[in-house]
Structure 1
Amino acid sequence: MVFKAIMNGLIKAKAMPQISPTERQALEAGTVWIDGQVFSGKPDFAKMFSEPYAKLNKRERDFIDGPVKNLCDMVDSYELARTRIVPKQAIDYMKSQGFFSFLIPQSYGGQEFSVNAISTIMAMLSAHSPLLSTFVVIPNSLGAAELLKHYGKQSQKDHYLPRLASGEYLPCFGLTEPTAGSDAASILARGVLFKNAEGKLQIKLNFRKRYITLAPVANLISLAFKLQDPDNLLGKGSDVGITVALVHRGTPGLEMGKHHQPIGDAFYNGPIVGKDVVIDADEIIGGVECAGQGWRMLMEQLAGGRAVSLPAGAVGGVRAAAAAAGAYARVRQQFGMPIAEMEGIQEKLAEIAAMAYLAEGARVYAVSALDNDEQPPVVSAVWKAYLTELSRVQATNAMDVMAGAGVMQGPNNIIGRGYCSAPVAITVEGANIMTRSLITFGQGAVRCHPYAFKIANALEANDLPTFSSALKGWIGHMVVNTGRLIGLTATRGYLASVPKIDGVTPYLRKLAWTSSRYAYLTDMALLTVGGKLKARQQLTGHFADALGWQLLAISTVRRYVAEGEQREDLPLVQYACEYALEKIQKAFESIYANFGKNPLGLWMRTVGYLGLRLNPLVGSTRDRLVPVVAKTITKSGAQMDRIAGDLYLPKVNLAELDNDEVLANTTGVKRLLAAFEAVQAAEGVQRKIMAARRAKQLEKGSVQELADAALAKGIITADDKKLLDRANRISLEAIMVDEFTPQEFFGDDSITYAPGFDSANLPNVPHGAVAQPVERLKVVNS
């Protein structure tokens, strides 16, 4: 009787968040993974670290080292961004090498790669050229091939999959509309089912889609719409529901080919409009039997899919930031030293390096789960939102380090276009604001909690036995976890049972502590805020932050363990964990400060908040790690290779750059990498000269100024002098930014000065003449 009264009271009060049909399909899609461990309050790190960790097989490795790198070699990323035209040679190469078929089984002519391989390739191509990468990302993510593989009729698979694999069909996915973005379930696209004169089932479509990547060039659309059946021809009622069908380019009434112009590196994206477009009902993916199942299909595939393409692009962006900023900081000199030795620069470099390590750990950990048949929608949402935001932050840090070299555009600028493009990933597949404030904790609190979903289902079904059992379990869970939290708080996590990993165990104890607190706060939110959680988006956003950074910290340690606990990487792990714990601490403080206007909220805002500040997760100790972490990306070697990962970097031959003409025609990243190698090769020579200067064997001056005297006195050899001269010469070229004539700048051969100015009024320049470039000044290293 007691449980019956409680259940009736909760139903009447709408104490649990209300679940709509579309939300239920999203909640029931996929699986609970390590997110469930965090919500449990007692994460089993040993179990997490024993799960499979993805590695590329030989066929995948050969494809990346061969066709993928060859594709990057044949496309100049700056020229591609300038012209916005993908060369036919590149398109033909992608078709011939199977770049559109990574998801497709080999029996249909596809590559059938692992998710890890697909993600690795996407990360490499996205960092090289966003425009080029979209031709690979879109066919190999949510869309025709994936939906057909999982839901298509055999006849559909037999027809479409081989043609998608060969590139005969280039697909796009039509979901977003002017009035339906993150709220994709509210699409207005309509399809009306009818029988034509021959008695064949057909659908008349009317829709307006926008932001559709590859739409201007695609010839096959996976179109999402709401299907109506006014004559109940399918026996499913008049409102059948969201459906996905294939629509071919050239179908009467279909308008496509116009372009949007995305910020940063342009890529092919545009609208699709349909007016009275008629297709056969057989074009519904899965046939008429799957009419109305479109939302379920999308949620099931997005459950894991959000962890693939956009996170891969984000990881590629962070890698690029690390490689560019680290090399530039070592080459660029100010105040007589490489700027990499300045503490202010080191702060930025350290964050970039550690976040590159963290991001790659998160990427591989997630795709390992997907390859192991997990489909975690909450973790997938976290990866999409937090890795794309992390990439944007690190692009800004890299811009700060490179300063004017990142601001001035042109082929020599290797970071600016990525910085400008960062907002794109933030907005697609659900804007990050909505993913953070609605999806992450909104789904997580119900789906990943040990008992909340069971209780919500029992309340909806008025199922007293299930409700009673789940409520008893929940009460026991809260009692045990509250006791655990008290013990962990008193000992600052020391009582937690965690794996012993030298230098990392203290962070695992802290993460066990944060998990217990997170589980406690989730219980309190469900009990006191309950059905109003959807409206408390500031609060749920802070919960999302705490969850996201716990998962990212766990991923960092997972990578360290999987790679054999390489000691030189330990500072990266420690920095990343402390960075994450700082974010978690801030999120907890915000949760306590904004919990609610109730007795519990009052206690949290006062006593609880004070205790949280007096006993924080981590102190201000991360600065001690900055110098050593910053150096991980300012020197070549195996560690730098691990941080940069599978980033496309052109091969450098320093000897060929001794030719002035070759050096002058080498731009962008290759020139910077050459300078990076040349400077490191000359470090020993610089140390000899500096030591002689300190010993007063040489007069005061810069290293380059003293080089001739050092050679004359036998302090350095002739070969040493050549190394020093080469480093100085290539470094000078590497730090130069691009210069454009008025004709190049305005794109008009008739213009000699900016329109509106009279060249006769400009001093020291003959009327009608073009100003000559100022001779480059010699850069002197010291």
Structure 2
Amino acid sequence: MSSLRQKWVTAPLLNWIKKVLPPISDTEREAMEAGEVWWDAELLSGKPDWDKLLNMGQPELTEAEQAFIDGPVEELCKMVDDWKVSYEDHDISPDIWDFLKKNRFFGIIIPEEFGGLGFSPTAHAQIVTKISTRSTSVGVTVMVPNSLGPGELLMAHGTDEQKRHYLPRLADGRDIPCFGLTSPEAGSDAAAMVDNGVVCYETYKGEKTLGMRVNWHKRYITLGPVSTVLGLAFKLYDPDHILGDEEELGITVALVPTDTEGVTIGQRHLPAMQAFMNGPNWGKDVFIPMDWIIGGQENIGHGWHMLMSALAAGRGISLPSLSTGGAKLAARTTGAYAYVREQFGISIGKFEGVQRRLAEIAGIAYVLDSAHKTTTRALDQGRKPAVISAIMKAHATFGLRQSINDAMDIHAGKAIIDGPSNYLGNVYRAVPVAITVEGANILTRSLMIFGQGAIRCHPYLLQEMEAATNPDHEAGVKELDALLPKHFMFQLKTFVRAVFHGWTGGLFASSPKGVGDAAKYYRQMNRYSAVLTLVTEISLMSLGGELKRKEMISARLGDVLSDLYLMSCALKRFNDDGSPDKDRPLLEFAMRSGFHNIEVSLIEVFHNFPIRFIGQLMQFLTMPWGHSIRDASDRQAKACADLIMVPSETRERLTEGVFLGNPGDGIDIVEQAFELSHATADIRDKMKKGGVRALSVKSVEEALSKGLINEEEATEMKLTAEAVDKAIQVDHFDSLGGQKTTG
């Protein structure tokens, strides 16, 4: 029976699979094999095991990590004048550079045995988050050496000799690293890289030495202009067959001191008015000995896999940390400003149009912080979730963009006039940088998240693809034959689950124990996990390799997977915090908005599916009632807006880690006005009831003369009026660009 099935069913099916499977390049395969799957695989299983997520614990800091954040990180934030860094000097001052080196900020992830701090991913993330609320330029400067770069690559792949030499020097700042990957011709397409090296023998330090003659042109290299050691990616060739029969040896990564003959470090780029160092570099016939390859000669051709492995973890920390910090800063300052800024005698935060934007800002901060904590917790446990890291990079930066745009709208003129008191302008300018680096978001969203996720997270698809590409046809048939019954049962269960939950609105889906009335959200999460899994199966079967080219479809399905992950993290965070009732509006807003977005994405997939009948069938099977979950209500939006306009434990939890400024800084000024305004709210109500609606020193005197308030209250109100007036002022400059005053 088995042999007959293989001959008449499996073998023809294998031939069909070979025709419809999307072609996968070597670079795509290595990217796909880098890192690992984790909660993303549960979400694409159709039935997530919530205990795996809820029982993984909360991110924690050691005493040393907390002391570092409370000590050197806090001190660094106090030292930084972001206006001076970004607009006056266009550089980080020497004393800050010295402070960063002295306190080993460039060695956050380097083990203590090599002179680094040896901190966890959670600590690394919280450090970058806090610094980023003070200065994105300083945040990026700290972030890059601890992200994708020589330090991480050396720890994972370096030889013992390379580690002993470089890691202590990187940890204490004697060496400043950069990493050269992007070239003008190739951009994000590593397969198109033109930077190349040729295996050869050269006389090096008086001896005949085996190495490579390398030529390159790199740009957009952060820390490049000040770097002393360059991590370099290039394609290596062996035309003289010195190493063997192969001529094309693949992408290789080496460490090159920047004072090496033939290396040219270019002048600075100026990325969107940010002051972090960034620039191009070139190499002309640079001789690189073989022992400069990270990991030595045996790692020739493994460079792309090494980079993807590092990126699988690093991309989940660096830019998500910066984005989370920016979103928290937006929530804290915009809530405060909306409360103290008045129009027509009332706080602008009471206008419903503003409240909706405030709710979006609060909801984004809650979701990003939740996802940030969950992801770094997974990294603490040694995981390298490649697809989730891509989700975090893309959607954290997308979230930052929306949050800062909304914050700018609410602040209006306060945020669009440059000056030391503008605490949002520089974050706003940093958004395009975050969106386009470490894998441009358009590419990540359109191709990577779902393209990799659908294959990596599927329990059988990757194995079936390997069977289809097995050069031994009979062995491939046997491998596929063993997988088919399992895959069929998976499809059958997925079909039943998705259709049942789709037609019953998820009412009978399961939920974990002990989650209280949040169970309704878990049921819907299970429903849409099943729907996404079934839609993925049908899309792959009907479109095959064509799905790879349907980027709009792939992007929308990736959005569904991303929303499911972000919402999972919000549920975990709410559970970890003890399900506080005061935080419930944030969870409700996040979940309702998320489900609404998921339904919009799925319906757009159905309506735009290339095979119209199949699109209609998928909607009939999984979403027969159309939009069944409305977006967050006005009531929920108002509740969220109020949470960031009132001093509370919820506001403190939501914006934990934001540097609140030195006395006289823009953030400090708006915070002081916020606190005084709440402290005198009852007095202000007396004035309004008596017909004095404006808030100024003159109006306070008017209220006093009318007997609406007493002398003591008048003194308090004058202080409040002065603080609010100071908070809404913007900076003036003379024609030469020097600061004149604030007003």
TM-score range (shorter-chain normalised) is over 0.9
Q: Which moved more, 1:456-465 or 1:247-256?
A: 456-465
Is residue 174–residue 224 contact of structure 1 (8 Å, CA) maintained in 2?
Answer: yes
Query: C-alpha offsets along residues 174-214 of structure 1, whole Å, 9 cap, x if unaligned?
Result: 00011222212321110111112433112111000011011
- Tell me if the contact between 2:251 and 2:302 (Cα under 8 Å) persists in the aligned partners: yes
Correspondence for 1:578 among 589, 592, 596? 592
Q: Count the aligned residue pairs.
A: 728
CA shift, 1:10, in A, is 3.9
Matched residue, 1:30: 35
Rounded Cα–Cα distance in structure 2 between residues aligned with 1:502 and 1:346: 28
8 Å CA contact retained: 1:581, 1:617: no
- Which position in structure 2 is the counterpart of 1:292? 301
**2:573 equivalent to 1:559:** yes
Distance 1:318 1:419 in 2: 11
Task: Say yes or no: does 1:589 pair with 2:608.
Answer: no
Q: Are 1:523 and 2:529 counterparts? A: no
Cα separation, 2, equivalents of 1:736 and 1:699: 26
Report matched runs for 1:96-111 at 5 Å.
96-111=102-117
Q: CA offsets per residue over residues 435-491 of structure 1, 9 Å max, x none?
A: 011111111111101211111111111422321122211111111111112221222
Residue of 455, 466, 480 corresponding to 1:467: 480
Amino acid at match of 1:23: E
Aligned: 1:186 with 2:197? no
Amino acid at match of 1:629: C
CA–CA distance in structure 2, aligned partners of residues 595 and 361 of structure 1: 33
Partner of 1:766: none
Q: So what's the TM-score if we normalise by structure 1?
A: 0.90
> In the superposition, relative to structure 1, how do residues 703 and 408 fare at CA in structure 2: closer, same or farther (>3 Å)?
closer
Distance in 2, matches of 1:124 and 1:236, equals: 52
Aligned ranges 1:89-128 → 2 under 5 Å: 89-128=95-134
Partner of 1:48: 53
Find 1:161's aligned residue among 164, 167, 174.
167
Match of 2:715 in 1: 722
Conservation of the 8 A alpha-carbon contact between 2:114 and 2:167: yes
**Paired position in structure 1 for 2:735:** 742
Q: CA contact under 8 A between 2:588 and 2:632: conserved in structure 1?
A: no
1:152 aligns with 2:161: no
Match of 1:336 among 325, 329, 345: 345
The one-letter code of the counterpart of 2:511 is: V
Instruction: Report how far residue 512 of structure 1 moved.
Output: 0.6
Cα deviation digits, residues 530-557 of structure 1 (max 9, x gap): 1112111111011111111111111111
For the 8 Å contact 2:233–2:252, the answer to whether it is kept is yes
Moved more, 374-383 or 490-499: 490-499
Distance in 1, Cα, partners of 2:433 & 2:124: 20
- Of 501, 504, 512, the residue aligned with 1:488 is 501
* 2-structure distance, mates of 1:703, 1:441: 53
Q: Which amino acid aligns with 2:674?
A: F
Question: What is the alpha-carbon root mean square deviation over aligned residues?
Answer: 2.0
SS at match of 1:450: coil
SS across alignment from 1:31: coil
Q: Which residue of 2 aligns with 1:359?
A: 368
Runs of 5+ in structure 1 lacking a partner?
A: 653-665, 748-771, 777-782
What is the TM-score normalised by the length of structure 2?
Answer: 0.94
Letter of the 1:568 partner, please give it. Answer: K
CA contact 1:503–1:570 (8 Å) conserved in 2: no
Displacement of 1:411: 1.2
SS, match of residue 286 in structure 2: strand
2:654 matched to 1:643?
yes
In 1: Cα distance, 2:546 partner to 2:487 partner: 20
**1:733 corresponds to which letter in structure 2?**
K
Q: Which residue of the partner structure matches residue 317 of structure 1?
A: 326
1:331 CA displacement = 1.2
Q: Deviations over 1:19-78 (max 9, x none)?
A: 222222222221111100111101112321111321112111110111011111111011
Contact in 2 for aligned 1:185/1:295 (Cα 8 Å)? no
1:11 and 2:22 aligned: no
Contact 1:489 1:513 in 2 (8 A): yes
In 2, distance between residues paired with 1:405 and 1:709? 28
Paired residue for 1:2, among 2, 5, 8? 5
After TM superposition, give the deviation of residue 708 of structure 1 in Å.
4.2
- Cα 1:575–1:194 shift into 2, 3 Å: same
Q: What is the Cα deviation at residue 700 of structure 1?
A: 5.8
What is the alpha-carbon distance in structure 2 between the residues aligned to residue 345 and residue 62 of structure 1? 39
Alignment of 1:440-459 (within 5 A): 440-459=449-468
1:391 maps to 2:400: yes
CA distance in 2, matches of 1:480, 1:743: 71
What letter matches 1:491 in structure 2?
A: T
CA deviations on 1:71-92 (whole Å, 9 max, x unpaired) are 1111101111112121111111
Q: 1:634 to 1:599 in 2, by over 3 A?
A: closer
Matched residue type, 1:552: L
Say if 1:510 and 1:617, in contact at 8 Å, map to a contact too: no
Aligned pairs for 1:69-468 within 5 A: 69-82=74-87, 83-197=89-203, 198-235=207-244, 237-461=246-470, 462=473, 463-468=476-481
1:687 maps to amino acid: D
- Secondary structure of the 1:212 match is strand
Aligned residue number for residue 681 of structure 2: 683
| Alpha carbons 2:589, 2:632 under 8 Å: kept | no
SS of residue matched to 1:263? helix
Q: CA deviation at 1:122?
A: 1.0
Q: Is the contact made by 1:711 and 1:717 (CA closer than 8 Å) also made in structure 2?
A: yes
SS of residue in 2 equivalent to 1:455: helix
Match for residue 637 of structure 2 among 623, 626, 640: 626
Question: Do the aligned residues in 1 keep the contact of 2:356 with 2:637 (CA within 8 Å)?
Answer: yes
For the 8 Å contact 1:504–1:574, the answer to whether it is kept is no
Question: For the residues of structure 2 that align with 1:619 and 1:159, how far apart are their CA atoms?
Answer: 59
Shift of 1:127: 2.5
Name the stretch that deviates more: 261-270 or 58-67: 261-270
Q: Is the 1:181–1:430 Cα contact (8 Å) retained in structure 2?
A: no
Change in Cα spacing, 1:448 to 1:96, as seen in structure 2 (3 Å) is same
Deviates more, 1:488-497 or 1:7-16: 7-16
Q: Deviations over 1:537-593 (max 9, x none)?
A: 111011111111111111111111111111111110110111111111111011111
State the partner residue of 1:757.
none
Equivalents in 2 of 1:619, 1:410: separation in Å? 42
SS at match of 2:279: strand
Corresponding residue number in structure 2 for 1:767: none
1:266 deviates by 3.4
Query: Per-residue CA shift, 1:369-400, capped at 9, x if unaligned?
Result: 11111111111111111110110111100011
